[in-house]
Structure 1
Amino acid sequence: MSSDIDTSSQSQRLQHVEMTLQALYHVIHGNAGVEMQCLGHFKLLFSLLSIQGAAKLQRLALQAISTVTGNKKCVENIAEANVLQFVLLVLHMLPSSQELVLEVLQALMSDTKIVKESILKGALIYLLDLFCNSQNPTVREETAALFAKMITDKLVGPKVRIVLMKFLPVIFMDAMRDSPEASVHMFENSQENPELIWNDEAREKVSQEVAQMTEEFFQKQKQDPDILWKLPEDFQVVYTQVQGEVAVGGVFLRLFISQPTWVLRKPKEFLIALLEKFGQLTQSSNPDVRIISLTSFFSYKLCEKGMWVTALGFACGSLVYCFVEMQRF
C-alpha cells in the first residue's frame, strides 16, 4: 500500500515539474529578456537532465535550456555552473532528442570556457560516437558542424584537433570546416590517395573503438557525474597502422611516390613534418632505414624542385645532403 502511495506521489511530482518546465519555456520564448531571471539557477535546471526514466521531463528541460542559450550572460553563467556533464549524459541516453541537444551545444560552444569543460567532461568521445555510428544523417552532419566550431576556438581549438586526430585523419577536420555534409560522405566512402587512405577496415576499427570507449565512459559518468575524461597515455587508434603505411605530415609516402603530380593541400606543413621526422630518425639509436630513406628522398626532391625556396627548404636540403654523403662512408 505504501509503495503505491510513494509511486503515485513521485509520478505527481514529476508531472508538476513537467508543467513548470513547459510554463518556463513559454514565458521565456514569448518575452525577450526574461531569461535573465534564470541566472544563478542553472545548476538546478541542468540537473533535471540526469533523471533517468523521465524522457518527457528531460526533453522539456532541454527545450527550456535552449531558450536561454542565445543570451551571452546566460551562457557565461552556465559556464560558471559547471553543468555540461548533464547535457552529455542526455545526449547518449535520449537518442530522440539528439538534434535538440546538438543545437544547445552549438550555442554553448561560443564560450571558450565551455569548450574547455567539454573536453574534460567527455564531449569529444560522445560526439565522435555520433559522427561515426549514428543512423541519423542529420545528427551526423550537425555533429560535424559542432566539431568545426570547437576546432575554430582560438584557445582550445588546437587541443580539440589533436584529440580528434587520434581517431580520424586530419583531412576530416578540414572537411568538417568546409562542409559538414561532405565530411560524413567522406567517412562512409573508401578512398586512397596521398593524403587519405580510408577503407572498410579503418572505418570499422575506428567506429568500434569509439563506440566501446563511449559506452564505458557513459556508465562511469552516470555513476559519478563529476568524473573527468581523458585518453589513456598508451592509447593508439592510429588509422594509418591499419594499412601499414608510412605517413608524414598527413601524407602517405608510398602513394605520393606513385602519384607525384598530386597537389598537396598543405605543402609547407608537409616539408616541415619531413624535416622534423628526418631529425628524429637521425638522432635515434635504432632508426627505421626504410622510413629514413623515404623522408630523405622526399626532402631532397622537394628542395631540388625549388617548390619553396626558403630558409627552411635550404636547411632541409642541407640535412638531406649530409645524410646522403654520410651513407657513402
Structure 2
Amino acid sequence: MTVLVTGAAGFIGFSVCERLLGAGIRVIGIDCLNDYYDPALKAARRARLEAFPDFSFRRLDIAKDDLPSCIPAHDQKDITEILHFAAQAGVRHSMEVPLTFADANVRGQVALLELARRLPALRHMVYASSSSVYGRNSALPFRETDRVDQPGSFYAVSKRTGELAADCYHHLYGLPLTGLRFFTVYGPWGRPDMAYYKFARAILRDEPVTLYEGNALSRDFTFVTDVVDAICKIMDVPPSGESRLINIGNNTPEPVSRMVALLETLLGKKAHIRLTKRPQADVEYTWASIDKVQRLIDWAPTTDLPAGLESFARWFQDYEARVSAK
C-alpha cells in the first residue's frame, strides 16, 4: 500500500501523513512549499515526516509541473490511494489574487485527476473541498444535498469547480472519488492564517484581536485529530458508482467570541478586542450536518472546543518559544 499525499507539508496533509506513517504505511509526499504563510512551519512539519523511513518527499507545484514525468514510473505503479490536500487557502485572500486560486485549486485539481486516471493500482482518490461551497445558504445545518450555486467568495468558486471536475472525471473514466467538505479545522501544527491561530498570537503578543461586529458569528470548529480519523476511515471505503461528497465537521457551531474567551483563559492573558465590519466574503455561520459520514463509517467527532483549544495552546506556546529562542 502506497499513498500519495499532496500538500504534505500543510496542516491537514502533514497530520494525515504522520498518522499513516505511524501505522507503517508508505507515503509519497508532494508540496510546493510556497510562502503564503511562514515556510519555517512547513519545513518543521516536513522534518518530522522525514524522520519516518517510509516517507519520501518531492517538491512539486501541482498546477505547473508535469506530475507523470516528475513521479517515477515504479512509484506510479505502486500508488493505491491519493489524498489530495494541496490548495491555495484563504477566503479573503481569494479576493486579492483570484488567478492564484484558479491555478492552484482548479488547474491543480485537474492535474491530480489526470494523474489518477493513469495509475494502474489506484483504489480511491480523496480530495479536500470546503464548507465555503455552501456560500450564501441560510438553511442550517448545511447538508450535502443543499444547493451550492451561490458562492460567497472566489475561494468557494474554486473549490466548487474542483468538485464539478471530479464528478466529470468519475462520469468519463469511472474514477473512485470522494470530496470532503471540511469545516474550520484547527489544532496543533495549524495554519497561521486562520483566526484561532492569529488570535492566539495576538493575545500572546498584546496585539489587537480583530472581531467582526455582532453576536451571530459562529463556526463549526473541527479538531484535526477527529478530521484525520475520518479521512483514514473514508480512504478505506471507496465509493461505488458515484462521485461522493461528504461533510467533515463537528456538528456543533460555536460563537467566535467564545473561542477568544477560551484562548484568553488558556494563554493567561486578556485579548485587546477591536471590532470591525464583517467582510462580504466571510459568511456569518457554518454548521455541518454529519448524518452522511456517520452512516458511511460510523464516525463522530470526540473533541469539544475547550479540549481542542487546550491541545492547540500547549503546542502553540511551545512552538512560539522555540521559534523565539532561535
Which category of TM-score, normalised to the shorter sequence, fits these structures? under 0.3
Structure number with the higher strand fraction is 2
Q: So what's the TM-score if we normalise by structure 1?
A: 0.26
Question: Which structure has more RCO (C-alpha within 8 Å, separation ≥ 6)?
Answer: 2
